[in-house]
């Protein structure tokens, strides 16, 4: 009989599937083993090791690591004012860049999502994404030339009697706002797209002005997407050290971590804990605000 | 009703266990596979490749191409901007050799990152200037650790259109009042070793501090130098570590005066830029003298291509090549016979290759250590310099 | 949405300014790719076409490009695998710690690159005693690329109802067959978009790469980093950057088409299902 034949000759694949059948948690477990194993052991494990390294010290000449339990590095970070200045400066610029990008990104994203034709949308999406493919380093170097004393920015502002910012912390803010802008445009665009036009029409039919519609309908719905974009702008600024090095003399958290990485790994690790703590806090808040659906 | 273990919770337990294991591993950590510095006894056949770390301008096609043709060792070179970077790269154990300055060599030896060099296997070593042999930056406890490459002094360079009158002293960038005239247009070297430049300045201008060796500073002398640099920071336009960055900065007018190497000076004058450095009449140095470097090719203790490295070390100090090298960069060659090979017959004289009196005013980069040489050990060590540098830059 | 004429004009102006902001530096890069001098002065003293053929002939650049391709493809493949597995587990099952998975997956990309780089480098060289190589780079890249695949696929799986999969099971297909014939085709565009974004992230990544790459090889960003500091190589670097941007127009456009297909454009379709979802949101 046909069914008997089928039961007898179940393939290995079938038998394996039978093992999982009716055992959803085993299924979930098997699915998760790979990714979770990789992330927890490989990634979290590495972070944990870094955390431990923050408690070590280093011999001045040979640089040999003394593994132990010392709070020396944390004391240095707390007592020396320069580290507090650097941390505060990094966080300040990260916040500034995030706000700047949100403001710059919104009109473009809004136009792409709600105003542009199908073809216009395609062109704009490609136009916004394309800069991500040109090398980060080349872009920063281009900005260096733009901002230099004989560069385009000064040349353009001269007839107005103005002066470009030159190199410095302003330049860092400007360049980073530039670099991370696409990371803010895309989530906002996706978020705005998800708002059906009918909701907006309904608001207008009920008599709301465009500004009110924006404030009370669009903004609350797109806010999680803005937060999602801000995760990237904030964290990318928080850890960057190449841009500050190329367009300013300012030291960021990443600068000091990088400089101390080989000669004083424990101090570098201790300092690296700061952005970890800041970002975890940021992520927890972002998750609460619903941003994780919008990345 | 089937009873089954809860595989997902079990999975979490396993994961937690593995995490704990990782932490344990971290605690025990890896050994530093420190070979007790063995020298090569014989140079065998080339391994076909060579991986170097060097300063900008030290490894150029002009002399690597003939080397590759002669030995079959294909050269790949990583340019580092500071000695810190060089130490960092050498610690990875993935390079064969490095052109180390004095503020890196001691650290490399102490960290076991380099092996002694058997100078008998480098025939051209015999005719190297005796002044460069057995120096504290390339010979440790009587053991040779490298082959001298060449030496030079850090220059004071300025834009002749913007900086008038032509400076004769470092005070144009270090004296707070004089430096303020060029506020925002000063170029300083971005490395803790720059503190020594401040010490050289103070040696001449504040003799009561009693500074002798700008790399051996007690706390009082060190703090004075650090204070001077903190005051300088307000006037600095840019701290540079990449030569190309400084070249562009001078060419674009972002900086007008500062400390530099001959490499940048020649690139800029070659491109027709209006820059000048201390002239012959001043002995090529500002009145206080200057810091400088005497570089040594060192071989990694984990070199994968030791034979090629030895061949390179012999090649780079062979008369013709060392002459090319010195002329390209603009430094004094290490090889005495190179002086007959230079295009310009007066090249060696110009660069004081055979003039010990000149080098007396140059303080070669050294690694600051606690032992002060005169018996005491209260000098500031490299970690102090590194931390101070972070504080100086703010 | 009805906008007044003035508002519409202001909007268009804002978009124009924004796009100009984005593209002026890129145009500068393009101009410098034709720069006749080695020094980055403005305006460039002369123009030449020499750098493009030199860039293509430069064997280091070509090798670096291929290495970046290899690393990107490998990292993307791993990210696809792990991201899909994780998203299937999260979207189709309930278990202890489900909410934490999203957090865990996003961590590698949310934490600054220098933290990830230093941590991985430390683990590889100190704890495991493994030599750095392209493999370690791929591990690093794959780790932060998982999230882009994961998010795309999870979003997709959440929108597709499970009734198809249940029907397939009812008809006698086992888990793997259901996945292969029912679930996977529905996810294809999400996988494609995620893969392209993951590849882009890996291709231009420099910070984590600096800490995880061995000496013998270099990816394209590392090559660029090396050559930015050699004055006589600077224009070649700019030429290479221009070439890469031009080549990437095609995959970027493809990515857009894929995301459109999956119905991310609620405005375009205005489907009832999406409206229902949106009204259920707050």
Decide which of C172 and B145 is more confident.
B145
Asked if C5 is an interface residue toward chain A (Cβ–Cβ < 8 A), one would say: no
Q: Do C29 and A195 touch (CB under 8 A)?
A: no
Lowest mean pLDDT, pick from A224-233, C103-112, C261-270:
C261-270
Asked if C1 is an interface residue toward chain A (Cβ–Cβ < 8 A), one would say: yes
Judged against a pLDDT cut of 50, whether residue C119 lies above it is answered with yes
Lowest mean pLDDT, pick from A178-187, B269-278, B299-308, C179-188:
C179-188
Question: pLDDT grade, residue A8 (50/70/90)?
Answer: low
CATH node for A74-294: 1.10.3720.10
Identify the pLDDT of residue B32.
46
Domain range for C97 is 59-264
- If you average pLDDT over every residue of chain B, what do you get? 87
Q: Are strands B275-277 and B155-159 parallel, antiparallel or unpaired?
A: antiparallel
Decide which of B111 and B185 is more confident.
B185
Smallest CA–CA distance, residue A179 to chain B, in Å, is 20
Q: Which residues of A touch C19 (CB under 8 A)?
A: 108, 127
The verdict on residue C90 lying in a domain is: yes
Q: Choose the mutation target among A55, A249, A252, A261 for the interface with B, i.e. most B CBs under 10 Å.
A: A249
Judged against a pLDDT cut of 80, whether residue B3 lies above it is answered with no
Separation between Cα atoms, residue C29 and residue C236, nearest integer Å: 11
Asked if B36 is an interface residue toward chain C (Cβ–Cβ < 8 A), one would say: no
Q: Do C41 and B8 touch (CB under 8 A)?
A: no
Identify the pLDDT of residue B329.
84
Judged against a pLDDT cut of 90, whether residue B296 lies above it is answered with yes
How many beta-carbon pairs under 8 angstroms link A with B? 130
A142-171 residues touching B, CB cutoff 8 A:
144-145, 148-151, 166-167
C109's tokens: 């990309």
Asked if C103 is an interface residue toward chain A (Cβ–Cβ < 8 A), one would say: yes
How do residues C153-191 score in pLDDT, each as one tens digit? 888 888 777 888 888 888 888 777 888 888 888 788 888
Q: Name the residue among C211, C58, B252, C65 with its Cα closest to residue A135.
A: C65
Contacts of A among chains (3+ CB pairs under 8 A): B, C
Question: pLDDT grade, residue B12 (50/70/90)?
Answer: low
Contact B52, B63 (CB under 8 A): no
Q: Choose the mutation target among C6, C25, C172, C222 for the interface with A, i.e. most A CBs under 10 Å.
A: C25
Residues 6+ apart with CB under 8 A from A160: none
Q: Do B10 and A29 touch (CB under 8 A)?
A: yes
Alpha helices in A166-264 (DSSP H): 169-193, 197-205, 210-213, 219-239, 242-247, 253-260
Judged against a pLDDT cut of 60, whether residue A56 lies above it is answered with yes
Q: Which residues of C touch B94 (CB under 8 A)?
A: 131-132, 214-216
How many percent of chain A have pLDDT more than 70?
95
The verdict on residue C8 lying in a domain is: no
**Residue C130: helix, strand or coil by DSSP?**
coil
Smallest CA–CA distance, residue A236 to chain B, in Å, is 22
Residues 6+ apart with CB under 8 A from B96: B50, B51, B52, B299, B300, B303, B304, B305, B306, B308, B309
Q: Which residues of A touch B27 (CB under 8 A)?
A: 52, 67
B355-384 residues touching A, CB cutoff 8 A:
367, 369-370, 381-384
Separation between Cα atoms, residue C77 and residue C86, nearest integer Å: 14
| Chain A residue at shortest CA distance from C194 | A295
Of A135-139, B16-20, B178-182, B376-380, the range with the highest mean pLDDT is B178-182
Separation between Cα atoms, residue C210 and residue C217, nearest integer Å: 11
Question: pLDDT grade, residue A209 (50/70/90)?
Answer: confident
Judged against a pLDDT cut of 60, whether residue B376 lies above it is answered with yes
Asked if B319 is an interface residue toward chain C (Cβ–Cβ < 8 A), one would say: no
Smallest CA–CA distance, residue A211 to chain B, in Å, is 45
How many percent of chain B have pLDDT more than 90?
55
First to last CA, chain A: 54
Judged against a pLDDT cut of 50, whether residue B5 lies above it is answered with no
Decide which of A260 and A276 is more confident.
A276
The verdict on residue C214 lying in a domain is: yes
What average pLDDT does range A151-165 have in this prediction? 84
Cα dihedral B137, B266, A242, B58 in deg (nearest 10)? -40
Identify the pLDDT of residue C148.
86
| Chain A residue at shortest CA distance from C276 | A196
Asked if B81 is an interface residue toward chain C (Cβ–Cβ < 8 A), one would say: yes
Question: pLDDT grade, residue B301 (50/70/90)?
Answer: very high
Identify the pLDDT of residue A57.
86
Which secondary-structure segment (H or E) carries A90? helix A81-110
What average pLDDT does range B255-282 have in this prediction? 89
Q: Do A34 and C85 touch (CB under 8 A)?
A: yes
Smallest CA–CA distance, residue C232 to chain B, in Å, is 9
Q: Do A49 and C7 touch (CB under 8 A)?
A: no
What ipTM describes this predicted complex?
0.82
Identify the pLDDT of residue B99.
95
Identify the pLDDT of residue C170.
85
Q: Do B30 and C38 touch (CB under 8 A)?
A: no
Judged against a pLDDT cut of 60, whether residue C6 lies above it is answered with yes
Contacts of B among chains (3+ CB pairs under 8 A): A, C
C142's tokens: 């794959």
| Chain C residue at shortest CA distance from A21 | C175
What average pLDDT does range A164-176 have in this prediction? 91
Identify the pLDDT of residue C268.
30
Contact B268, B247 (CB under 8 A): yes
Residues 6+ apart with CB under 8 A from B169: B286, B287, B288
What average pLDDT does range A25-53 have in this prediction? 84
Q: What is the CATH number of the domain that holds C87?
A: 1.10.3720.10
Identify the pLDDT of residue C273.
33
Decide which of B84 and C278 is more confident.
B84
The verdict on residue C36 lying in a domain is: no
Nearest by CB: A44 against B19, B237, B387: B19
What average pLDDT does range C118-138 have in this prediction? 85
Separation between Cα atoms, residue C191 and residue C81, nearest integer Å: 10
Domain with CATH 1.10.3720.10 in chain A: 74-294
DSSP A186: H
Q: Which residues of C touch B81 (CB under 8 A)?
A: 229
Is 0.90 topped by the overall pTM?
no
Smallest CA–CA distance, residue C260 to chain A, in Å, is 9
Identify the pLDDT of residue C261.
57
C190's tokens: 């999400």
> A204-243 burial by CB neighbour count: b if 16+ within 10 A, else e?
beeebebeebbeebbeebbbbbbbbbbbbbbbbbbbbbbb
Question: pLDDT grade, residue C272 (50/70/90)?
Answer: very low
HEC sequence for C67-115: HHHHHHHHHHHHHHHHHHHHHHHHHHCCCCCHHHHHHHHHHHHHCCHHH
The verdict on residue C53 lying in a domain is: no
Nearest by CB: A129 against C14, C88, C252: C252
Phi–psi pair at C146, nearest 5 degrees: -55, -40
Q: Which residues of B touch C215 (CB under 8 A)?
A: 51, 78, 89, 92, 94-95
Lowest mean pLDDT, pick from A162-176, B11-25, B44-58:
B11-25
DSSP codes joined into one string, B13-68: HHHHHHHHHHHHHHHH---------PPPSS--S--SEEEEEE-TTSS-HHHHHHHH
Query: What residue ranges define each of the domains in chain B, with the CATH number in brackets?
Result: 49-151+293-354 (3.40.190.10), 153-291+368-393 (3.40.190.10)
Judged against a pLDDT cut of 70, whether residue B13 lies above it is answered with no
Q: How far is CA C61 from the centre of its chain?
A: 21
- Taking CB atoms within 8 Å and a gap of at least 24, the contacts of B180-186 are B180/B234, B180/B235, B182/B235, B182/B256, B182/B257, B183/B234, B183/B235, B184/A166, B184/B235, B184/B236, B184/B237, B185/B237, B185/B254, B185/B255, B185/B256, B185/B257, B186/B232, B186/B235, B186/B236, B186/B237, B186/B255, B186/B256, B186/B257, B186/B258
The verdict on residue C248 lying in a domain is: yes
First to last CA, chain B: 68
- Number of structural domains (chain C) is 1
Separation between Cα atoms, residue A42 and residue A29, nearest integer Å: 18
Phi–psi pair at B92, nearest 5 degrees: -70, -15
| Chain B residue at shortest CA distance from C126 | B30
Q: Do B94 and C215 touch (CB under 8 A)?
A: yes
Residues 6+ apart with CB under 8 A from C187: C84, C153, C156, C157
Separation between Cα atoms, residue A7 and residue A5, nearest integer Å: 5
Q: Choose the mutation target among B1, B33, B53, B84 for the interface with A, i.e. most A CBs under 10 Å.
A: B84
Residues 6+ apart with CB under 8 A from A121: A112, A113, C265
The verdict on residue C22 lying in a domain is: no
Question: pLDDT grade, residue B39 (50/70/90)?
Answer: confident
Contact B160, B209 (CB under 8 A): no
Question: pLDDT grade, residue B34 (50/70/90)?
Answer: very low
Asked if A251 is an interface residue toward chain B (Cβ–Cβ < 8 A), one would say: yes
- Quote the Cα angle for A126-A222-A216, to 5°: 135
Question: pLDDT grade, residue B128 (50/70/90)?
Answer: very high
Question: pLDDT grade, residue C35 (50/70/90)?
Answer: confident
Question: pLDDT grade, residue A13 (50/70/90)?
Answer: low
Question: pLDDT grade, residue A85 (50/70/90)?
Answer: very high
Separation between Cα atoms, residue B194 and residue B226, nearest integer Å: 10
Asked if C118 is an interface residue toward chain A (Cβ–Cβ < 8 A), one would say: yes
Which secondary-structure segment (H or E) carries B296? strand B290-300
Question: pLDDT grade, residue C259 (50/70/90)?
Answer: low
Question: pLDDT grade, residue B231 (50/70/90)?
Answer: very high
Q: Which residues of C touch B26 (CB under 8 A)?
A: 126-127
What average pLDDT does range A226-250 have in this prediction? 91
Judged against a pLDDT cut of 90, whether residue B220 lies above it is answered with yes
- If you average pLDDT over every residue of chain A, what do you get? 86
Q: Name the residue among C188, C219, C274, C184 with its Cα closest to residue C70.
A: C219
Query: Any idea which residue has 């300014």 for tokens?
Result: C17
Identify the pLDDT of residue C274.
33
Identify the pLDDT of residue A20.
73
The verdict on residue C5 lying in a domain is: no
Judged against a pLDDT cut of 50, whether residue B209 lies above it is answered with yes
Of A61-65, B40-44, C117-121, the range with the highest mean pLDDT is C117-121
Identify the pLDDT of residue B199.
96
What average pLDDT does range A240-266 have in this prediction? 89
Lowest mean pLDDT, pick from A147-151, B121-125, C82-86:
A147-151
Overall residue count recorded for chain A in this entry? 295
Judged against a pLDDT cut of 70, whether residue B94 lies above it is answered with yes
Judged against a pLDDT cut of 90, whether residue B50 lies above it is answered with yes
């Amino acid at each position: 009989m046909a069914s008997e034949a089928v039961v007898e000759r179940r393939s290995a694949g079938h038998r394996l599937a039978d093992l999982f059948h009716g055992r959803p948690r085993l299924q979930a477990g098997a699915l998760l083993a790979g990714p979770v194993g990789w992330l927890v052991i490989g990634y979290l494990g590495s972070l944990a090791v870094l955390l431990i390294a923050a408690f070590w010290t280093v011999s001045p000449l040979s640089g040999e690591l003394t593994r132990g339990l010392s709070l020396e590095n944390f004391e240095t970070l707390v007592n020396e004012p320069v580290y507090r200045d650097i941390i505060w400066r990094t966080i300040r610029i990260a916040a500034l860049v995030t706000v700047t990008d949100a403001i710059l990104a919104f009109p473009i994203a809004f136009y792409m999502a709600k105003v542009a034709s199908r073809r216009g949308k395609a062109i704009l999406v490609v136009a916004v994404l394309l800069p991500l493919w040109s090398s980060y380093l080349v872009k920063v170097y281009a900005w260096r030339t733009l901002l230099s004393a004989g560069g385009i920015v000064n040349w353009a502002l001269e007839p107005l009697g103005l002066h470009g910012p030159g190199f410095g912390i302003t330049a860092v803010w400007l360049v980073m706002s530039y670099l991370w802008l696409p990371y803010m445009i895309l989530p906002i665009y996706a978020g705005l797209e998800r708002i059906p036009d009918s909701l907006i029409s309904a608001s207008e039919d009920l008599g709301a002005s465009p500004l009110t519609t924006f404030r009370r309908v669009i903004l609350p719905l797109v806010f999680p997407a803005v937060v999602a974009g801000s995760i990237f702008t904030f964290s990318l600024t928080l850890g960057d050290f190449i841009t500050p090095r190329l367009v300013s003399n300012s030291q960021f958290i990443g600068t000091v971590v990088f400089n101390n990485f080989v000669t004083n790994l424990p101090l570098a690790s201790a300092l690296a804990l700061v952005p970890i703590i800041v970002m975890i806090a940021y992520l927890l808040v972002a998750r609460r605000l619903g941003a994780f659906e919008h990345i | 009703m089937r009873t089954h273990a809860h595989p997902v919770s079990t999975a979490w337990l396993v994961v937690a266990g593995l995490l704990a294991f990782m932490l344990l591993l971290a605690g025990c950590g890896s050994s530093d596979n420190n070979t007790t510095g063995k020298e090569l006894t014989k140079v065998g056949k080339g391994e076909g490749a060579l991986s170097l770390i060097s300063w900008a301008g030290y490894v150029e096609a002009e002399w690597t191409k003939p080397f590759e043709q002669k030995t079959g060792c294909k050269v790949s070179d990583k340019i580092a901007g500071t000695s810190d970077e060089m130490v960092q790269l050498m610690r990875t154990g993935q390079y064969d050799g490095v052109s180390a300055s004095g503020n890196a060599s001691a650290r490399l030896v102490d960290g076991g990152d380099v092996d002694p060099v058997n100078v008998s296997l480098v025939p051209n070593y015999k005719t190297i200037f005796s002044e460069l042999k057995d120096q504290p930056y390339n010979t440790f406890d009587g053991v040779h650790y490298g082959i001298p490459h060449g030496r030079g002094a850090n220059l004071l360079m300025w834009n002749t259109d913007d900086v008038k009158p032509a400076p004769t002293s470092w005070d144009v960038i270090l004296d707070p009042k004089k430096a303020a005239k060029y506020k925002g247009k000063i170029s300083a070297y971005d490395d803790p070793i720059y503190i020594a430049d401040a010490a050289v300045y103070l040696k001449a201008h504040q003799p009561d501090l009693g500074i002798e060796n700008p790399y051996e500073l007690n706390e009082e002398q060190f703090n004075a130098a650090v204070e001077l640099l903190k005051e300088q920071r307000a006037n600095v336009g840019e701290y540079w570590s990449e030569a190309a960055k400084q070249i562009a900065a001078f060419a674009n007018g972002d900086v007008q005066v500062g400390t530099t190497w001959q490499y940048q000076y020649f690139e800029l004058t070659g491109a027709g830029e209006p820059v000048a450095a201390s002239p012959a009449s001043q002995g090529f140095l500002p009145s206080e003298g200057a810091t400088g470097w005497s570089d040594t090719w060192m071989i990694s203790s984990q070199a994968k291509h030791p034979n090629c490295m030895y061949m390179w070390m012999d090649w780079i100090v062979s008369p013709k090549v060392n002459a090319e090298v010195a002329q390209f960069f603009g430094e004094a060659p290490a090889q005495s016979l190179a002086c007959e090979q230079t295009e310009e017959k007066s090249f060696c004289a110009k660069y004081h290759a055979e003039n010990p009196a000149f080098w007396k005013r140059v303080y070669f980069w050294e690694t600051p250590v606690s032992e002060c040489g005169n018996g005491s050990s209260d000098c500031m060590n490299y970690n102090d310099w590194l931390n101070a540098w972070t504080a100086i830059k703010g | 949405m009805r906008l007044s004429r003035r508002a519409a004009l202001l909007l268009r102006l804002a978009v124009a300014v924004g796009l100009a902001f984005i593209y002026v530096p890129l145009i500068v890069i393009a101009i410098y790719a034709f720069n006749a001098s080695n020094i980055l002065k403005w305006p460039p003293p002369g123009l030449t076409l020499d750098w493009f053929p030199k860039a293509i002939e430069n064997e280091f650049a070509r090798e670096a490009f291929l290495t970046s391709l290899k690393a990107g493809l490998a990292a993307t493949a791993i990210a696809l695998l792990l991201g899909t597995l994780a998203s299937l587990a999260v979207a189709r099952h309930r278990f202890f710690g489900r909410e934490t998975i999203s957090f865990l997956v996003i961590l590698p990309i949310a934490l600054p690159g220098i933290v990830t780089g230093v941590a991985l480098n430390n683990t590889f060289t100190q704890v495991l005693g493994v030599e750095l190589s392209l493999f370690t780079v791929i591990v690093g890249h794959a780790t932060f690329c998982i999230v882009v695949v994961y998010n795309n696929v999870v979003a997709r799986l959440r929108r597709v109802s499970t009734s198809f999969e249940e029907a397939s099971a009812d008809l006698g297909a086992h888990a793997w067959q259901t996945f292969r014939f029912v679930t996977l085709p529905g996810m294809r565009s999400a996988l494609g978009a995620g893969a392209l974004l993951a590849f882009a992230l890996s291709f231009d990544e420099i910070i984590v790469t600096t800490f995880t790459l061995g000496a013998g090889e270099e990816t394209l960003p590392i090559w660029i980093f090396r050559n930015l500091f050699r004055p006589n190589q600077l224009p070649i670097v700019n030429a290479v950057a221009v070439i890469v941007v031009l080549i990437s127009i095609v995959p970027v456009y493809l990515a857009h088409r894929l995301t459109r297909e999956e119905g991310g454009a609620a405005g375009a379709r205005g489907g009832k299902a999406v409206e229902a979802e949106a009204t259920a949101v707050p």
